[in-house]
Amino acid sequence: MSTDNKVHCIVVTPEKTELDTTCDSMVVPMFDGELGIQFGRAPMVGRLGFGIMRLKSNTGVKEWFVDGGFVQVTREGVYVLTDRLLKPEQIDGKQAEADLDKAMTMVSNSPESAAFKERTLTQARAKVRLAKSTTSS
Amino acid sequence: MANIRQLDKRRKSVKNVRKITRTMELIATARFKKAMDRAAAATDYTKRITSIVQDIAKSGTDVSHPLLTAHDSVDAMDMLVLTGNRGLCGGYNGSVVRAATLRRSEIKKEIEAGQMRVSGKRGVSALRFAGVPIEKTYTEFDDQPSFAAVAKIANELIERYITGKIDRVDVAYTKFLSISKQIVVVDTLLPFASLAPATNSGNLSPEAAKATGIKDDYEFLPSASGILEEVVPASFRARLFKCFLDAAVSEQIARMIAMKSATENAGDIIKALSRTYNRARQSKITQEIMEIIGGVEALG
């Protein structure tokens, strides 16, 4: 981490390193709610949910949509691993609704398939929720 | 003299062909560089995934996941064949198709069920010609495969594996080892053998090695096993994506080499044709002179 009490934030997707920047503090959407990270946070590995990641710095607050994944807090910095990093306005509400409908009809006749269905449902619901909140605001 | 004109015509057409192959070589070189950059950019993600897996392993959690466990009996298998959409790239498509059909005929003795999924127009037509039934085809992957599209296929395969529809997934593609070496391989991706090969590096990166030296007591949210549940599918998706990237890079290299040798060959043909053309022209000139001299002598 940098010396001037800043958080070094790196966002990696399977395609490339999307973001490599420093900020004063950041908020990541965890699986069970939001988590704030400031300089010097204890090392941690966490599962991300679907939602908004906020980076606060002198220039203001920047927002992105994080499509699940993980966050790893190390001495060197905060690594966010996600499948996709989108701007909130890039989310397609109709597509999200269609995904939710599809997930609803999935068959779950074993513990594994039930868990899989549950996860697909959560992902679709989060997107629908987010799409609604961005269109209403 | 029709012969001379024919030779000249042929030389001109070969020159045009050389221009085309030379341009194609240049295009392939540019695309190869782009594909290579993409493949290099994708390694960061796999590195981070490995580091998380190592952290989990260090915490003493039992590493187990439905994708990691092999099914008791293998009754159905899906096969994914990665070829190019376009030809003119030497033996690239042919060797992948050959490897895939060979593996298929081997396993068909024991395993009957399962789907054949083929990416790339060339592979689709070659396998159709060979009489292999194909369930799914993908033609949207070019020199820059997108992760979203690959993740869709990966999720389908994960779903089929977890729900017990299939017991194995094989992928036939061209693995990129270095710029001068690419080999055709048929890899078994599911059941996921171990998390280590997914990272594509048996050795730790210097950074990761340093990190292991410092004892960090990680906090896991929700728990180490909860994270593992997500890491394994993510790792599988990244692995499959790597296969697509490797195939894309290898295709461009194959095309580059094929077009380079085609250009060189065209050069050789032009040289040989020019020589024959010049000889024919010279003999024609000599003959004309002889005729003139003969005519002058007859008059004199």
Same domain for A102 and A81? no
Same domain for A79 and A119? no
Range of the domain at A104: 91-136
User: Domains (ranges, CATH) in chain B?
Assistant: 2-24+258-299 (1.10.287.80), 32-255 (3.40.1380.10)
Task: Tell me if A41 is assigned to some domain.
Answer: yes
Burial of B107 (0-12, 13-18, 19+ CB in 10 A): middle
- Where is average pLDDT lowest: A97-111, B10-24, B270-284? A97-111
DSSP B199: G
Same domain for A69 and A112? no
Residue A104 to residue A110: CA distance in whole angstroms = 16
| Contact check, Cβ <8 Å, A45/B221 | yes
Same domain for A76 and A15? yes
The pLDDT value given to residue B215: 55
Q: Give the residue among B51, B43, B50 at the shortest CA–CA distance from B235.
A: B50
From the candidates B38, B44, B231, which should be mutated to test the interface with A, based on the most A CB atoms within 10 A?
Answer: B44
| Contact check, Cβ <8 Å, A45/B146 | no
Q: Which two tokens stand for residue A15?
A: 């395609």
Read off the pLDDT of residues B69-101 as tens digits, 9 standing for 90 and up: 888 888 888 999 999 999 899 899 999 999 999
Q: Give the residue among A65, A72, A118, A127 at the shortest CA–CA distance from A99.
A: A127
The pLDDT value given to residue B293: 95
Task: Tell me if A101 is assigned to some domain.
Answer: yes
Read off the pLDDT of residues A30-72 as tens digits, 9 standing for 90 and up: 988 889 999 989 999 999 988 888 899 988 888 888 888 899 9
Task: Tell me if A55 is assigned to some domain.
Answer: yes
Q: Which two tokens stand for residue B56?
A: 């989990």
| Contact check, Cβ <8 Å, A112/B163 | yes
Among candidates B151, B159, B227 on the partner chain, residue whose Cβ is nearest the Cβ of A45: B227
From the candidates A70, A76, A119, which should be mutated to test the interface with B, based on the most B CB atoms within 10 A?
Answer: A70
Same domain for A103 and A65? no
Residue A103 to residue A128: CA distance in whole angstroms = 13
Same domain for A79 and A22? yes
**A15 Cβ contact list (under 8 Å, min separation 6):** B38, B41, B42, B45, B146, B147
- How many Å is the Cα radius of gyration of chain A? 16
Taking the CA of residue B238 and the nearest CA in chain A, the distance in Å comes to: 6
Average pLDDT, chain B: 86
| Contact check, Cβ <8 Å, A43/B217 | yes
A62: domain CATH number is 2.60.15.10
Task: Tell me if A122 is assigned to some domain.
Answer: yes
Contact residues, chain B, for A99 at CB < 8 Å? none
Residue B88 to residue A42: CA distance in whole angstroms = 55
Taking the CA of residue A45 and the nearest CA in chain B, the distance in Å comes to: 5
B294 versus B194: which is more confidently predicted?
B294
Taking the CA of residue B252 and the nearest CA in chain A, the distance in Å comes to: 19
**B146 Cβ contact list (under 8 Å, min separation 6):** A15
Contact residues, chain A, for B207 at CB < 8 Å? 76
Contact residues, chain A, for B49 at CB < 8 Å? 81
Q: Are B84 and B184 in contact (CB under 8 A)?
A: no
- Where is average pLDDT lowest: B53-57, B248-252, B282-286? B53-57
Same domain for A116 and A69? no
The total domain count for chain A is: 2
Task: Tell me if A1 is assigned to some domain.
Answer: no
Question: Above 90 in pLDDT, residue B277?
Answer: yes
The number of C-beta contacts closer than 8 angstroms across A and B is 101
Same domain for A54 and A109? no
Among candidates A17, A47, A83 on the partner chain, residue whose Cβ is nearest the Cβ of B221: A47
| Contact check, Cβ <8 Å, B222/A70 | no
Coil, strand or helix at B215: coil
Task: Tell me if A2 is assigned to some domain.
Answer: no
Same domain for A66 and A28? yes
Same domain for A130 and A69? no
The residue among A51, A67, A88 that closes a domain is: A88
Same domain for A59 and A95? no
Complex ipTM over 0.85: no
A110 versus B203: which is more confidently predicted?
A110
Contact residues, chain A, for B52 at CB < 8 Å? 45, 70, 72, 81
Q: What are the residue ranges of helices labelled H in B131-223? A: 147-162, 206-213
Residue A25 to residue B119: CA distance in whole angstroms = 44
The owner of tokens 């109709």 is A94
